[in-house]
Amino acid sequence: MRGSRCARELMGKRLESPALSSRRRKRATDKDFCRESGTQGAVPTECGEASGCKSCKGPGKTNRPERTGPGQKRKHREAVETSLLHHDQFKKGHRPGKDSLLTQDLTLLQNDCSWTKTRASFSFHKKKIVTAVSEVSNNTTTTSPPGSFLSEYSNPPVLNKTTSSAPSPWHSSSMYLLTPLKTLHVADQKASDAEKVYRECDQEGPIPFSACLSTEELESCEKIGEGVFGEVFQKTANCTPVALKIIAIEGPDLVNGAHQKTFEEILPEIIISKELSLLSDAACHRTEGFIGLNSVHCVRGPYPPLLLKAWDHYNSTKGSANDRPDFFDQDQLFIVLEFEFGGTDLEQRRKTLSSIATAKSILHQLTASLAVAEASLHFEHRDLHWGNVLLKKTSLKEVHYTLSGKTGTIPTCGLQVNIIDYTLSRLERDGVVVFCDISKDEDLFTGEGDYQFEIYRLMKKENNNCWGEYHPYSNVLWLHYLTDKILKEMVFKRKCNTSALKQIKKDIVHFHGTMLNFSSATDLLCQHSLFK
């Protein structure tokens, strides 16, 4: 436990006004929810719906002039990023209007979509930093997380590509691929980055779209989201919905007003998503609370007509802020990331959860997942607003996690929680640290109108604006924000009219009032009375 200066300030200074959206206000409610029948006091169950990298031109170079932002249908620095793993739903017949331009005055962050537009304008993927632990060490962390087995500049394991029995890279950590290659020339580093991406894809080079997605799969694809990075589609694999995030890379054309990511820039995104997904299969520190990454492919060619058809349907029914992706040529490269379908975000479910007992389960699952990631990867999420917490129905009565070899159990109340979006996140393994350097993004720390923006300022104060350092207290701050949302903005189907539910609410209120005295999610999970 701790007596943080952030805690002391927050105890005396809280934002009481109802928060306006940190993400787009979804225009839908989930239809499927139910409760277990039972005696008074029974716990209801929920059944809801499921610092700057160098830009380079890659193999997709053409003689066509580059597209420019002002000449496109809107200024893409205000691009709206929707959650890549859940479906934005709208009332039948309703089409949202185009978003107004983002002004320089970030007091307008109260506007719908404002945070996602602001994030897009900051181009955070250009600020992703990969460095050695020794270069960002502080008094908080002096050793790598338990389980790290490679030295700071150790050689990667050698795979024999000539044997069919060579192990797949998909089931083991790839953090060593991010080890700084300081002895190589720039050209060699770029070539190496491409080879590393192909290795993560388990490919020797790019493949055609048809080798990644069959005609039958393409016909079933539905666009469910978008962002400045590209498009998100949903398909069904083995009777299970999955999300496909498609990102153009290494080409000369601007995409939605932004330069395409390079191999160097996309590699950390792939590996971070993979590292957190792999926690579901770990032994000493295990959780299924981070969205699962099923596969990654690098494909080459123009956008498939069937995906353009799905794009057009989304545009005609909901409206798209992106360019129609029909201008890519035969040599364009794309990364296709397949994620599990995570469900609906907490903000969208703010009026559909059955009772306060469900909220307690959500907080417990979130805290456990963050604690496991802290122990395994020295992880800080750094942007865990309620749009990045996904909920999907589950038939499991309990979920299990393992922390330092000890297994814990959490009642689900019918919902499984998944954490998404690691754009601002920080993690380390095998002597390598990956983080987003936002130290010079002053506008990010001046937002008003939502407790979320106070959290950014408190994180900055906690780490003294040194974002490479490890300060797990940031996870406590975000859990406090989420608890605040639950107590002040969520409306439950079942009122707290039983002794059991009244006690749960009392416990959560106590959690909200005391949690800032704890040093990390691990400290909260192991020590706070809410989880006893």
Catalytic center residues: 383
Helix (H) or strand (E) holding 407: strand 406-411
* Residues 234/339, Cβ–Cβ less than 8 Å: no
Which residues, in sequence order, are bridge partners of residue 117?
none
Between 499-514 and 356-377, two packed helices, what is the crossing angle to 10 degrees?
40
Task: Provide the 3-class DSSP secondary structure of residue 293.
Answer: strand
For residue 205, give the 3-state DSSP assignment.
coil
Element (H, E) at 435: strand 432-436
Distance CA 59, CA 193 (A): 14
SS3 421: coil
Distance between CA atoms of residues 391 and 49, nearest Å:
8
d(CA 201, CA 164): 16
- DSSP letters along 240-273, please? EEEEEEEEEES-SS-BTTBPPBPHHHHHHHHHHH
* C-alpha separations of 326 from 64, 100, 144, 228 in Å: 14, 25, 46, 16
Taking the C-alpha atoms of residue 111 and residue 509, their distance in angstroms, rounded to an integer, is 29
How far is CA 507 from each of CA 161, 229, 295, 397, 481, rounded to the nearest angstrom?
56, 41, 41, 22, 16
CA dihedral 194, 200, 205, 207 (to 10 degrees): -130
Q: Name the token pair of 370.
A: 């963050």
Which helix (H) or strand (E) covers residue 416, if one does? strand 415-419
